[in-house]
Amino acid sequence: MKAFFENPALLIGAPLLVVGLVGAALMFLTAFAPALPAPEAAGVGGVRVAHRGPGPAEYVNIGLALAAITALEVAVYYVTALEAILAPILILLAASKFLLVALWFMHLKFDNRIFATLFAGGFVLVVAIMMVVLATLGASLT
């Protein structure tokens, strides 16, 4: 107990973790609570439109997956036996988190492809530039 109060990381980190877990639990409960019915003529000009995309339950599931991948990242970080292949594993896990957020939360999976093209254009360009710069100037990821 004394060590807990002497370690600022635990002192700050533990309440943050509790708040995060409470938030996740609330999200889970809210997602499965009965939703209010959508107004009949709520669309623009009174037209009701069905929008293809995930619902709250799916968003919460993706959130749980993101939390699980983060936990896996931290676990892998502490496994000394995996040190040789740590970089590829961590990059793969980060890429999966990136894709989950971009495709589902930012709706790139469901939206017009022009948006995905604009974003992917910037992203691909920066990854290419980073690789060239790091290789040219002799830096590494690890």
Partner 1 sequence: MEYAGTPAHAQPLETSTGLDNRKLLMWLFLGSECLFFGSLISAYLLYRDRSVVGPYPRELYDIPFTSVSSFVLLMSSVSMVLALAAIQRGDLRRMRVWLLCTALLGTLFLSGQAYEFTTFYDKGLSLHSNLFGSTFFVLTGFHGAHVSIGVIILLSIWVRSLQGKVKQSDSLNVELIGLYWHFVDVVWIVIFTLVYLLTGR
Residues 92-111 that bind partner 1 (CB under 8 A): 93-94, 97-98, 101-102, 104-106
Which positions ≥6 away from 55 have C-beta within 8 Å? Answer: none
> What binding mask, one character per residue, do residues 55-74 give for partner 1 by CB under 8 A, x or -?
xx-xxx-xx--xx--x--xx
We find the least distance from the C-beta atom of residue 5 to partner 1, in angstroms, to be 15
Q: In angstroms, rounded to a whole number, what is the distance separating the alpha carbons of residues 69 and 139?
A: 27
Question: Which tokens in the block code for residue 40?
Answer: 């009949």
We find the least distance from the C-beta atom of residue 77 to partner 1, in angstroms, to be 5
Which positions ≥6 away from 131 have C-beta within 8 Å? Answer: none
Q: In angstroms, rounded to a whole number, what is the distance separating the alpha carbons of residues 119 and 98?
A: 13
User: Given candidates 29, 32, 85, 119, which one binds partner 1 under the rule CB under 8 A?
Assistant: 119
DSSP state, 94?
Answer: H
Which positions ≥6 away from 49 have C-beta within 8 Å? Answer: 43
User: Given candidates 32, 85, 123, 135, which one binds partner 1 under the rule CB under 8 A?
Assistant: 123
User: Given candidates 1, 2, 3, 44, which one binds partner 1 under the rule CB under 8 A?
Assistant: 44
Nearer to partner 1, 2 or 52 (CB): 52
Is 82 a binding residue for partner 1 by CB under 8 A? The answer is no
